[in-house]
Amino acid sequence: MSSQPDILEQQWLAALRAGDESALRRIFDRYYPSLLSDIYRVVPDENTCEDLAQEVFVELWRKRTELDIHTSLRAYLRRSAVNRALNHLKSNRRLLFDQSEQFEQAADESAGDIRRKIEQETLEDALHAAIETLPEKCRVVFSLSRFEQMSHREIAEQLGISVKTIENQITKAMKILREALVRHAELSPVVIWALKCWWEA
């Protein structure tokens, strides 16, 4: 059963190389929605996500004759999408690569928002809200490590910043998210109790 999708993809890719656009449509139907989610973690703007994800397929079509995919098609498209998202951040000269103080301020302002948000939601919701309110550099670095399974060195190379900076950002993200967790837990002592049991088990 598990090998079937791979055979399917091999056939699609063969048809794609031969210039069959309906193969592109099939690949598109299968992966477009998940690529949108992948890109959204880096660039949380729906219109930009659509644009960037579509470009992945334009590129796939343009390069169809010289495609050389060693991983799964899903992994290939995902990496291509994330790279595009990162290039988008870079080319828009976003604050990502500045060391400016503005981040710290943004983080302080967002703390209030987080506090408001967590009060009625589940722990997952609270953490997701907290990720969204992380300063941009912090959020991007954390997302690449947490969701794209990239090593610190890889992230540093991709973003053109030092490993030390990456490590600082990840530490910072973990601390902010832990605060959100603790605040959420304070609301229900049962959670803390459960947490302890779970750790000691």
Partner 1 sequence: MQANDDYILLLSKQFSGDISPAESDALQSWLAQSPEHAQLAAELRQVWEKTDAFGKTFSPNLDVSFRQVQAKIKAAERPRARVVSFGQRWLRVAAALTFLLSAFWAYRQLSAPTEPLKIFANRGDKQLVLLPDGSRVWLRANGQLEHPVEFSGSERHVKLLGEAYFEIEHDPANPFVVDLPNGDKVKVLGTEFGVRALPDQTSTGVFVRSGKVLFAPKARPQGVVLTAHQKATYIQNAAQIIVDKHATLNELAWQRGGLEFVGTPMEKVIADIEAHYKVKINLRNTYMRTCLHTALHTTQPIDTVLESLALTHHFRVLRPAPGQYELAGGTCK
37 vs 18, 40, 147, 184, CA distance in Å?
Answer: 30, 5, 11, 26
Cβ atoms of 131 and 177 closer than 8 Å: yes
Q: State the minimum distance, in angstroms, from the CB of residue 82 to partner 1.
A: 13
Distance CA 61, CA 64 (A): 5
Secondary structure of residue 166 in the 3-state scheme? helix
Q: Which residues form the interface with partner 1 (CB under 8 A)?
A: 1, 4, 7-8, 11-12, 15, 20-26, 28-29, 32-33, 36-38, 40-41, 44, 46, 49-50, 54-55, 57-58, 61-62, 123-124, 127-128, 131, 143, 145-147, 149, 151-152, 167, 170-171, 174-175, 177-178, 181-182, 195-196, 198-199
Name the 3-class secondary structure at 188. coil
- Smaller CB separation from partner 1, 93 or 137: 137
Q: Cβ 74 to partner 1, closest distance in Å?
A: 15
Using the minimum distance from each CB to partner 1, give the nearer residue, 116 or 153: 153
Cβ distance to partner 1 smaller for residue 7 or 101:
7
Number of H helices, E strands in the chain: 10, 0
Smallest gap from Cβ 90 to partner 1, in A, equals 21
Cα distances (Å, whole numbers) of residue 41 to 44, 87, 91 = 6, 14, 18
Q: Rounded to whole angstroms, how far apart are CA atoms 40 and 53?
A: 10
Q: Which is nearer to partner 1, 1 or 93 (CB)?
A: 1
- By C-beta, is 22 or 93 nearer to partner 1? 22
CB of 193 to partner 1, least distance (A): 12
Minimum CB distance to partner 1, residue 1 (Å): 7
Tell me the two tokens of residue 104: 């710290």
